[in-house]
Amino acid sequence: MKKFFIAAVPLAAVLALGGCSSTPERPTSDTSSLIVINSLSEPNASDSRNNSSSDASGVQANVSFSGDRVITENRTVAEGQVLTVRNGETLYINDGAEFTVDGGIAVENGGSIKVRSGGSLLLNGKMTLDGGLELGGFLGIREKGEINGAGLLTVLNSFDDIDCKGTCKAKIKAPEPVEKDGVTYVGGVLIVNKKYSVPEDYGEELGLVIDEAYDQLLKMREDTGFDMPLVSGYRSYWTQDDLFNYYCEIDDYDKVVMYSAEPGHSEHQTGLAMDLGQITEDYVNTEEGGWLTDNCHKYGFIIRYPKGCEKKTGYDYEPWHVRWLGESTARLVRDSGLTLEEFLGVEAM
């Protein structure tokens, strides 16, 4: 099987994935700092790793070639370099291959990257995603890593496959909802709202909240010095039933359903939600409440019912109600500017 060798080039001469020659020419500039993909194979070639030519290591050439290609070994786009995937082309990252971007990568409209199961894409630099990124493997967005553009990041399996410590402004398509034992998950994220419920006995073994969420609450208090009192954590189905019925006795039903969940439809029953600080919209105007709104995603939480999103979530604005997602997914939701329902692509009611 024929092999092709490529290397990143300076920003002024972005590497193109176009037509191919079997005898590539060497770049005219100094190649001592150019280390990138030096073994690409044709896709669907089962022997691509075993047949890697012995002189692949260290071969650096500036070539252009046509068709889709597969990364089969660990490779790096060097700092100061940009790799471009053009319209009509697909770059595959195979099982066992780790593709690190220290420089930049641009996926043009009509181009795509497909990270297969067992493959990894690690971004220390910037990605301009105007095409598609299909994630069946792992995506690591490091602290200085960024994904921008008008393209689409499609998560095939779970949001646990993404470790985001940087920024992702690209649109994300979540997997389809999956129901297990009466509980609905989207990409591993449990969803509870007016449409999706949990069984009566769900969460009976829980304490105040799940351990990870409580640990991060303690960390927020330690890091900021704010009290952030935990007003309400886990509530059983029957506690929520009593609470909802009480509110209906003292207020109009149409108003109650905007600030209280019917039993089985409360996030509090999952142990993933907490009411913190003060149960009033004015909480956001306090130093503590304002900090919570602006920074809770750094600790794995989101403001579950944002201001102005009543028709999208089904509930009134609650600056005190946070939902635990984990740091990476919380960052993704925050960067998207969407409600959790919009982010996961599910209905609220």
pLDDT of 282 reads 98
Q: How far apart are CA 188 and CA 161, in angstroms?
A: 10
The strands making up 120-123's β-sheet, listed across from edge to edge, are 75-77, 98-101, 120-123, 138-141, 162-164
Residue 228, CA distances (Å) to 133, 162, 224, 276, 279 in order: 39, 29, 10, 6, 12
Which CATH number is correct for 178-344, 3.30.1380.10, 3.30.930.10, 3.40.50.970, 2.30.30.40?
3.30.1380.10
pLDDT of residue 205: 84
Chain centre distance of CA 66: 31
Identify the weakest region by mean pLDDT among 25-34, 198-207, 279-288, 319-328: 25-34
Tens-digit pLDDT profile for residues 288-331: 999 999 999 999 999 999 999 999 999 999 999 999 999 999 99
Q: Output the pLDDT for position 151.
A: 98
How confident is the model over 167-191, as pLDDT tens digits?
A: 999 999 999 999 999 999 999 999 9
Report CA torsion sign: 11, 13, 18, 19. negative
Q: Over range 85-101, report the average pLDDT.
A: 96
State the pLDDT at residue 67.
Answer: 57
Beta-strand relationship, 171-173 and 69-71:
unpaired
Q: What is the pLDDT of residues 133-155, one digit of tens each?
A: 999 999 999 999 999 999 999 99
Q: Which pLDDT tens digit goes with each residue over 238-270? A: 999 999 999 999 999 999 999 999 999 999 999
CA distance 300 to 158: 16
* pLDDT for the residue 208: 74
User: Is pLDDT larger for residue 335 or for residue 60?
Assistant: 335
Domains of the chain, by residue range, sit at 11-173, 178-344
Nearest to 315 by CA among 245, 262, 274: 262
Q: What's the whole-model pTM score?
A: 0.84
- Mean pLDDT (the chain) is 85
Query: Quick one: pLDDT band at residue 52, thresholds 50, 70, 90?
Result: very low
